[in-house]
Amino acid sequence: MALFPIRTFGDPVLRTVAERIDEVTSAVERLVDDMLETMYDAPGVGLAAPQIGVSKAIFVADIGDGPFAMINPEIVELSGEWVWDEGCLSVPERFWPITRPAFARARGIDLSGAEVEQSGDELMGRVLQHEIDHLNGMLLLEHLGRRAKKQALRDLRQEALGMPTSP
């Protein structure tokens, strides 16, 4: 296992649609191990491969009841609505109240190559949506309202220049 640096806002890999994985090879298994180690070290509850610079459609997560990985995942069902102070390891130490569907169901394949579904409300639903967004080259900022997004982008750019951000 190996720890990887986590790519942050501004890195083009985070805006790139990840490639689907054709076959679950030992390299994919190693990637999952490395992603889990990196996620737990951060610490975070989910991590998508592009966040360690690998543009492949795979994410790992553990919301407290054990780790899992999903390969080529897609959202197949969404319902309800939930507001949560959402953050992202690629936009460190920032949280925004973001409204998304409360429930999500995702379908993909697991490390044995079998089709698998993961679903849940609230945190689980949020993690599934957030990680699958990463695989589509999207960050949580895309879910902010126009004004909040503008402010967030301004803050992040100032931060990148080492300038103080607004309160």
# chain residues binding Ni ion, by CB under 5 A: 1
The least distance separating Ni ion from the CB of residue 12, rounded to whole angstroms, comes to 16
Q: Which is nearer to Ni ion, 23 or 93 (CB)?
A: 93
Nearest-CB residue to Ni ion? Answer: 88
Does the protein bind Ni ion through residue 88 (CB under 5 A)?
yes
Could you tell me which residues come within 8 angstroms of residue 98 by beta carbon, excluding any fewer than 6 positions away?
83, 84, 85, 86, 140, 143, 144
Q: Which is nearer to Ni ion, 24 or 128 (CB)?
A: 128
Q: First CA to last CA across the chain, in angstroms? A: 39
Rounded distance, CA 156 to CA 91, Å?
Answer: 8
Do you know the residue count of the chain? Answer: 167
Q: Which residue out of 23, 29, 86, 131 is catalytically annotated?
A: 131
Active-site positions read 131
List contacts with Ni ion (CB under 5 A): 88
